[in-house]
Amino acid sequence: MKRKSLNIQYKEYSNTNDLPEEYKLLAQKAKEAVKTSYSPYSEFAVGAALLLENGEFILGSNQENGAYPSGLCAERVALFCAGTTYPNVPVDAMAIAASYKGVAVAEPIAPCGACRQVMIETQNIGKRPYKVIMIGANKTVVVDNVSFLLPFTFSDISNAVK
């Protein structure tokens, strides 16, 4: 047996004003995207904003449905929109913000497992890592590589059967 370990590094900022300049606008756009959420059932509104390599911004927000499994998370809304609108343009960074019952969440929220898998796939398509900025009122967390959020990913099945 071999014992191995994972070391995940991230940066923590006291608020979005302390972010590097190039990501302050992205964080603001994620907060604005929260306002477009359709979340009447959970009252948990999430907004995601992407900064693409070409300088374009793509926004997404969670969209709930009375048939609960039919809704979609903000991160996947944004990523699928980017893939359709700008195919083959890599993502530079993603920012995620949320509110509950109209009040910004205190701690940063992390993407769900399904979103993390889509984020990995998007990173693989773009052939380079991208940053994830998770925003809370008390702090903001930045990871430099989506792989840090999901170290054991599901990928091309043809590689698994060789």
Task: Determine the Cα–Cα distance for residues 62 and 96; give it in Å rounded to an integer.
Answer: 11
The rounded distance, in Å, linking the Cα atoms of 96 and 16 is 11
Q: Is 75 a catalytic residue?
A: yes
Rg of the chain over CA atoms, in angstroms? 16
In this structure, how many other beta carbons lie within 10 angstroms of the beta carbon of residue 40?
9
Pairing assessment for the beta strands 131-135 and 140-143 based on DSSP bridges: antiparallel
| Of 56, 75, 107, 121, catalytic | 75
Nearest to 123 by CA among 159, 94, 97, 102: 94
CA 92 – CA 116 distance, rounded (Å): 16
- Residues annotated as part of the active site: 75
